[in-house]
Structure 1
């Protein structure tokens, strides 16, 4: 299977209070169903967080999540340790681990989120 999904054809979704986080997240959907990832994952989205918007702290069970920071910077909670992530950084949160991200800057930040099954 191969797939090319053009940016202009990707579904744009605005999600409020993701994982009980502040504000909203703007998401461009990369894959629309698990079978597009050979049933090994469920998300490949490009996300944008505007100032003071974020994804709340959550723990992964049965899957892991990768963030690839594309632009800007954000405050990242890695299992309770707060750090700054910026363009070019990659994070991984495995099963049983937790994370959160929030943009504290005036300019929007963007990141890819990829969720893979354990």
Structure 2
């Protein structure tokens, strides 16, 4: 299955998981709109402006991967540790774990977010 850029869904999401600001999203699979037979529930390229964030949240029934494409931020891991992230960094949040992300004041930050059950 191929998702060409021109066919992907463009949206703006605000205050993601209780965070601040907004993200411009380009989704091959928009949240909740994936193929019924697939375990992938979201595949989106998300661009956040400086100072934006994804609030600290728990993945009760799914798992999520972030792949940072550009920009810098501070990632909060399940154990509460906070580390700087930048291009090429990858995070994995397993079922039952939590995470969050704050974009640096120099922003923007672009990442791929993939959620699967």
Query: With structure 2 as the length reference, what TM-score do the two structures score?
Result: 0.90
1:53 matched to 2:52? The reply is yes
* Equivalent residue for 2:18, pick from 20, 23, 28: 20
Aligned residues: 114
After superposition, the C-alpha distances for 1:62-105 in whole angstroms (9 at most, x for unaligned) are 11100011111111000211111110010000011000011123
Asked if 1 retains the 8 angstrom alpha-carbon contact of 2:40 and 2:115, the reply is yes
- Correspondence for 1:62: 61
Where in structure 1 are there 5+ consecutive unaligned residues? Answer: none
Query: With structure 1 as the length reference, what TM-score do the two structures score?
Result: 0.89
Asked if 1 retains the 8 angstrom alpha-carbon contact of 2:15 and 2:54, the reply is yes
Asked if 2 retains the 8 angstrom alpha-carbon contact of 1:49 and 1:102, the reply is no
In the TM superposition, structure 1's runs of 4+ consecutive aligned residues that sit over 3 Å from their partners are: none
Q: CA deviation at 1:6?
A: 2.3
Asked if 2 retains the 8 angstrom alpha-carbon contact of 1:69 and 1:87, the reply is yes
Q: CA RMSD in A?
A: 1.4
After superposition, the C-alpha distances for 1:28-63 in whole angstroms (9 at most, x for unaligned) are 011243217x42120000001110111100000111
Q: Distance between the aligned counterparts of 2:84 and 2:26, measured in 1? A: 23
Q: Distance between the aligned counterparts of 1:7 and 1:106, measured in 2? A: 27
